[in-house]
């Protein structure tokens, strides 16, 4: 709870500072002030462990600027994820483990610096394409370089330093691209968007999530799932059902933290864009013509903060399937994983597994992260199979009943896999799963086998009916 209190105090301070931060209209002043506050946040929770972040910044900035832009993204990816693994292994090597909040800062810094290297590589690739098109008159015209692209191609060490340590998102995210950061510095949207209103809308629901977190964690604490009484005196059904409240606690904690992190962005005006820009979480504007319209004061525009929207709580809770719920969870990080791992990995066959493995590595070195995150690809085919067999063509009351069953299955899967994420170590995870006879995994294997048999039977029936129809046609 001490870590949580420190976390809340820091996020609350950063949210309040945003009202003052928006008053700086000069971009250079805004950069200096934002970076100064960010360094204070890092120092306050990390102490001398802050040297890890400074070292990572220095090496990554040198790689981005001085390594060939054809491979700078790969070099930066290898270094940052390698250092992240080393950083988390310090306690195993006999050194003091960094504080928990320092780990979160290192996680976000990894996404930022590696993402920046990919942005530079993309801008370089685009510049080569444009240059080749200019030489070849017959080539199909490609989009010209934007101002953001040109900025990426002439980055300085100071630019990368400001981006890495600006206080907005430095502690827990959400992940923002360098382009989003630069727009927040140079474009006037933060002065036009309703930053206070957007922040208050998010803050309204946080007491509910925080209250539920405290209440349920008091009644069903996670620590109880590691006690002797839990395994010796509680029934199989009680132990199995205990995953529901523990994952509910986890969700409420995550909802509270992520929404507070979003409030830091909204209060500072970071991620504010006109609605006509079609912004998407993590990515930012999907259209390029929004800047011209935004400078026209004759017609006031509506603004949103979709760029820094990291979670959609309502849709996460009410959507029917596991696959759909994944899309609404930690959306900015998912964007990073999709853009820089999934789409870039050369093998289509293994890109999903590799993306989830990178996500698990990013989360930490504990086995629980791999049990949980890498377990998702094995559940998804089962869900997809039953959606195709029963849910896809269902209507009316039957559809409603099947949707509810699918919803229950979704949250059981999340909860059953999520207990590994919370227990962390192999011995605790295996002890718990053994105490419930690996019920979840056994159930899913049986369901998959039954689903495959039903699918085969339906195909055989369809072929038989088609053959009967053909024979009837011939006889006629």
Tell whether 136 is covered by a domain: no
Please tell me whether residues 257 and 190 are part of one structural domain. Answer: yes
**Which burial class, exposed, middle or buried, applies to 94 when counting CB atoms under 10 A from its CB (0-12, 13-18, 19+)?**
exposed
**Tens of pLDDT, residues 366-396:** 888 888 888 888 899 999 999 999 888 888 8
Catalytic annotation present for 73: no
The answer to whether residues 377 and 257 belong to one domain is: no
Choosing from 122, 363, 403, 438, which is the catalytic residue? 363
24 and 165 housed in the same domain: yes
Q: Does 449 lie in the same domain as 367?
A: yes
Q: Do 246 and 162 fall within a single domain?
A: no
User: Phi first, then psi: what are they for 314, rounded to 5°?
Assistant: -60, -50
Same domain, 194 and 57: no
252, 276, 311 - which closes a domain: 311
Point out the least confidently predicted range of 135-139, 293-297, 394-398. Answer: 135-139
Task: Answer yes or no: 438 catalytic.
Answer: no
Question: Does one domain contain both 333 and 455?
Answer: yes
Condensed to tens digits (0 to 9), the pLDDT of residues 296-319 reads 665 678 899 999 999 999 999 999
Domain contains 293: no
The domain tally of the chain equals: 3
**Of 447, 459, 371, nearest to 406 (Cα)?**
447
Both tokens assigned to 7: 């976390």
- Domain-located, residue 455: yes
DSSP secondary structure code for residue 175 in this structure: -
The 8 Å CB, 24+ separation contacts for 230-235 are 231/431, 231/435
Q: Quick one: 258 and 358 in the same domain? A: no
CA atoms lying within 13 Å on the CB side of residue 29: 7
Q: Is 201 found in the same domain as 267?
A: yes
Q: Per residue in 94-126, pLDDT tens?
A: 777 788 788 899 999 999 999 999 999 999 998
Tell me: do 282 and 348 sit in the same domain. no
Residue 257 falls within a domain, yes or no? yes
Provide the β-strand partners of residue 280: 284
Domain presence at residue 177: no
**Does 165 share its domain with 214?**
no
Catalytic residue among 121, 166, 310, 330: 330
166 falls within a domain: yes
The residue segments making up the domain with residue 43 are: 1-128+151-172
| 178 lies in some domain | no
User: Tokens standing for 34?
Assistant: 């934002």
Indicate the pTM of the whole model: 0.89
Q: Is residue 241 part of a domain?
A: yes
Whether 311 contacts 265, CB under 8 Å: no
Residue of 171, 190, 174 lying closest to 182 (CA atoms): 190
């Amino acid at each position: 709870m001490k870590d949580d209190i420190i976390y809340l105090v820091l996020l609350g301070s950063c949210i309040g500072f945003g009202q003052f931060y928006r008053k700086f209209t000069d971009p250079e002043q805004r950069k200096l002030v934002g970076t100064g506050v960010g360094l204070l946040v890092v120092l306050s929770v990390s102490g001398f462990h802050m040297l890890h972040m400074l070292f990572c910044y220095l090496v990554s900035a040198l790689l981005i600027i001085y390594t060939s832009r054809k491979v700078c993204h790969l070099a930066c990816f290898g270094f940052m994820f390698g250092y992240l693994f080393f950083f988390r292994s310090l306690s195993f090597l006999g050194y003091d483990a960094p504080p928990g909040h320092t780990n979160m800062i290192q996680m976000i810094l990894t996404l930022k610096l590696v993402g920046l290297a990919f942005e530079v590589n993309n801008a370089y690739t685009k510049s080569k394409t444009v240059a080749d098109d200019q030489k070849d008159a017959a080539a199909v015209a490609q989009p010209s370089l934007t101002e953001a692209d040109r900025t990426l191609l002439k980055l300085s060490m100071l630019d990368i330093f400001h981006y890495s340590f600006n206080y907005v998102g430095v502690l827990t995210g959400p992940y923002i691209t360098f382009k989003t950061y630069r727009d927040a510095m140079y474009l006037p949207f933060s002065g036009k968007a309703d930053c206070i209103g957007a922040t208050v809308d998010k803050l309204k629901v946080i007491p509910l999530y925080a209250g539920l977190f405290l209440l349920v964690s008091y009644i069903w604490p996670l620590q109880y799932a590691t006690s002797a009484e839990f395994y010796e005196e509680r029934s199989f059904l009680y132990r199995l059902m205990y995953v529901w409240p523990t994952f509910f606690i986890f969700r409420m904690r995550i909802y509270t933290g992520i929404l507070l992190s979003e409030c830091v962005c909204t209060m500072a005006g970071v991620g504010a864009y006109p609605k006509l820009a079609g912004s998407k979480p993590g990515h930012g504007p999907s259209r390029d013509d929004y800047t011209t319209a935004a400078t026209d004061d004759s017609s006031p525009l509506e603004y949103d903060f979709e760029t820094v929207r990291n979670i959609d709580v309502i849709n996460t809770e009410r959507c029917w399937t596991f696959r759909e719920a994944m899309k609404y969870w930690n959306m900015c990080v998912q964007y990073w994983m999709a853009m820089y791992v999934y789409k870039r990995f050369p093998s289509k066959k293994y890109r999903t597994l590799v993306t989830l493995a990178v996500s698990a590595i990013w989360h930490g070195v504990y086995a629980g992260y791999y049990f949980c995150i890498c377990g998702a690809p094995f559940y998804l085919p089962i869900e997809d199979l039953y959606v195709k067999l029963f849910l896809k063509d269902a209507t009316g009351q039957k559809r409603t009943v099947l949707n509810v069953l699918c919803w229950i299955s979704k949250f059981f899967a999340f909860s059953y896999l999520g207990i590994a994420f919370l227990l962390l170590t192999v011995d605790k995870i295996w002890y718990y799963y053994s105490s419930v006879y690996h019920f979840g995994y056994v159930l899913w294997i049986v369901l998959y086998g039954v689903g495959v048999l039903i699918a085969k039977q339906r195909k055989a029936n369809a072929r038989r009916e088609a053959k009967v129809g053909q024979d009837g046609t011939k006889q006629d």
